[in-house]
Amino acid sequence: METIQTQQEYSIDFLQEEFKLLKQLIKQSKQGTSKVINFKTPQDLENHIDLNIPQQPTSDQQILDFLQKVGDLSVKTSSVHFYNNLFGGINEYSLSADYLTSTLNGTIGNMETSSLYRKMENILFKTIAQKYLKWESFSGIFSSGGSQANFYGIELAKYWKFPEKKYTCIQNLPEIRIFTSELGHYSLEKGSILMGFGQDAIIKVQSDKQGRIIPEELEKEIQNCIKQNYTPLILNLTCGTTVYGVIDKINECVQIGKKYNMWIHIDGCWGGHMLFLDEIFQKNSLVSTCDSFAWDAHKLLNVPQQCSMLITQHTDILEQTNGVEQGFFDTEDGEYKENNLDQVDQMNQYSKHVDVLKIWVYWMHYGSNGIEKLIRDAIDTAQYFSSLVKQHKNFELILEPEYVSVSFFYFPDSFLKRKEKEYDNENFWNELHKIPPIIKGKMVEEGCMMVAYQKQDQKQYKKKNFFRIIFTVDKGKEDAKYAFQQIHRLGQNL
């Protein structure tokens, strides 16, 4: 009978077989030759894969067969035909870095176990802060996702305004208010709940037809809160809203936030990449005066999840906010402290997965100029898709894309004549509201592609279901054309 030790000696052969499967998946994803989704209901899944936890060891071949089934039954978000979410695609260089990180079983914690990784993080934060945000001072931390990066922004603002409340109960705080666009990300609400401010602390400011926060409405809301003896704490501005992908009116709003002594946080998780382009930064130059910036490298760029970070201009505030006298993990070495490399007291956990190597190797492969070109090309692809939409009678563009999100209505042939007469009729839109789910259902059933649809409710503008397609950097004009044709093929005769 084989011992556990003997089985371990054979594990290299197992890995070689598994890497064959991974190579196949990568090739199929990049070429778009496999289904994006092999849809099964939750009940059907149990008939296609054994999900019982075994009592006895399982053979290598059985495990390989199981992993093959997992690959077959999972959504291929790495496919060039996955347009559904704010992430997607695959990059072999970044993926290899993630393999290495997991092979080394690395961790981010104190300098004893993560000195090289922390050095890399600091250099990356410095590059983003100084080259793209135009900040002279900086400190940063990787997080488990964009939402947590936004949580950190709220946490830092609380310490900045009320440092004494690190040690005492928040019960005696004044009532806090956090201001964000009505189209801002829901993580602000979750963060407010987490910090004990409550969901009601979020003030959702009216946005304009393009989905940008209205500066005049922002100031009205702030003044109204002050009259009620509330304390304006944070102004959150979005760089790349979830659906329309637009940038809030940063310069005008930053001036208002500074006027009322607020911490200004930029949620750039989705669209912060736009600030890498000088022509876009110049239109939003007061980003250089903001307090914190959240960014997801895994969105748009095909870097494996998660690769999220929070960067702040306040050099020591992360340690001041989260530091405790834990002692047994403390690194007394002065060089580590002076260079801001020991992270134990900067984050609200001790250790976490190493994410920096994924974006580091990606950056090595493309260089800063290459990454900027990738962003421009992706925006160009989105604009190409929007041009197809504008030229076709069955499609209607909702607004010109600013980023890589394109939002549009689709009208089957049966709706075209009615559109001319009933465009302002609520019943017409209620019926059209049902079309995107049907088209999405057909594409999921076929597995040919995936794209998102949603309605959008603003205070002044309400829209029934429409499509929102995303073009990450792995997708080109042929992929855009393919998506356009598939939507029309599946919807024309409804």
d(CA 145, CA 191): 13
Read off the pLDDT of each residue in 304-333 and give the average, rounded to a whole number. Answer: 80
Q: What is the pLDDT of residues 377-389, one digit of tens each?
A: 999 999 999 999 9
Q: Tell me how far apart the alpha carbons of residues 354 and 107 are, in angstroms, rounded to a whole number.
A: 5
Average pLDDT over residues 116-137: 95
Per-residue pLDDT of 273-309, as tens digits, reads 999 999 999 999 999 999 999 999 999 999 999 999 9
Q: Give the Cα separation of 216 and 315 in Å (integer).
A: 32
Reported as a single tens digit per residue, the pLDDT across 231-253 is 999 999 999 999 999 999 999 99
Highest mean pLDDT among 35-39, 347-351, 376-380 belongs to 376-380
pLDDT of residue 167: 77
Residue 87 DSSP class: B
Confidence (pLDDT) at 347:
63
Residue 325 has pLDDT above 80, yes or no: no
The answer, yes or no, to whether residue 331 has pLDDT greater than 80, is: no
Is the pLDDT reported for residue 172 higher than 90? no
Residue 341 pLDDT exceeds 60: no
Q: Which pLDDT score, from 0 to 100, does residue 356 have?
A: 96
d(CA 154, CA 159): 9
Which pLDDT score, from 0 to 100, does residue 332 have? 52
What does the angle CA 403 – CA 405 – CA 408 come to, to the nearest 5 degrees?
Answer: 130
Q: Compute CA distances 57 → 2, 14, 49, 63, 316, whole Å.
A: 11, 15, 17, 10, 50
- pLDDT score at 163: 87
Contact residues for 407 (Cβ-Cβ < 8 A; gap 6+):
243, 244, 397, 398, 399, 401, 466, 467, 468
Report the candidate in 180, 259, 184 with the shortest Cα–Cα distance to residue 223: 259
Position 1 confidence tier, pLDDT thresholds 50, 70, 90: very low
Residue 33 tokens read as: 């030759």
Q: What count of Cα atoms within 13 Å lies in the side-chain half-sphere of residue 19?
A: 10
Distance CA 189, CA 6 (A): 52
Task: Tell me the CATH number for domain 368-492.
Answer: 3.90.1150.170
Query: How far is the C-alpha of 370 from the C-alpha of 363, rounded, in Å?
Result: 8
Report pLDDT for 128.
Answer: 97
Residue 303 tokens read as 């870097």
> DSSP 3-state assignment of 233?
strand
Would you state the pLDDT for residue 224? 97
* Confidence band of 353 (pLDDT split at 50, 70, 90): confident
Whether the predicted pLDDT of 442 surpasses 80: yes
CA distances from 119 to 81, 122, 297, 343, 368 (A): 37, 5, 18, 11, 19
Lowest mean pLDDT of 81-95, 161-175, 255-269, 388-402, name the range: 161-175
Q: Please give the full DSSP string across 122-167, using - where no structure is assigned.
A: HHHHHHIIIIIS--SS-EEEEESSHHHHHHHHHHHHHHHH-GGGGT
pLDDT for residue 111: 67
Helix (H) or strand (E) holding 311: strand 308-312
pLDDT over 90 (residue 81) = yes
User: Is the pLDDT assigned to residue 324 strictly greater than 80?
Assistant: no
Q: What is the pLDDT of residues 388-427, one digit of tens each?
A: 999 999 999 999 999 999 999 999 999 998 988 888 888 9
In the predicted structure, residue 4 carries a pLDDT above the cut 70: no
pLDDT in tens, 361-379: 999 999 999 999 999 999 9
Identify the three-state secondary structure at position 181: strand
What pTM, to 2 d.p., does this model score? 0.92
**Cα–Cα–Cα angle for 465, 241, 273, rounded to 5 degrees:** 135
Q: What is the mean pLDDT of the chain?
A: 91
Strand extents, DSSP E, 246-307: 263-268, 292-296
- Residue 320: in which H helix or E strand, if any? helix 317-322
Q: Specify whether domain 107-353 bears CATH 3.90.190.20.
A: no
The string over 259-290, giving b where at least 16 C-beta atoms fall within 10 Å of a residue's C-beta and e elsewhere, is ebebbbbbbbbbbbbbbbeeebbeebebbebb
Say if residue 166's pLDDT is above 80: no
Phi, psi of 176 (to 5 degrees): -85, 150
Q: Specify the DSSP class assigned to residue 196.
A: T
Residues 6+ apart with CB under 8 A from 458: 182, 183, 206, 207, 211
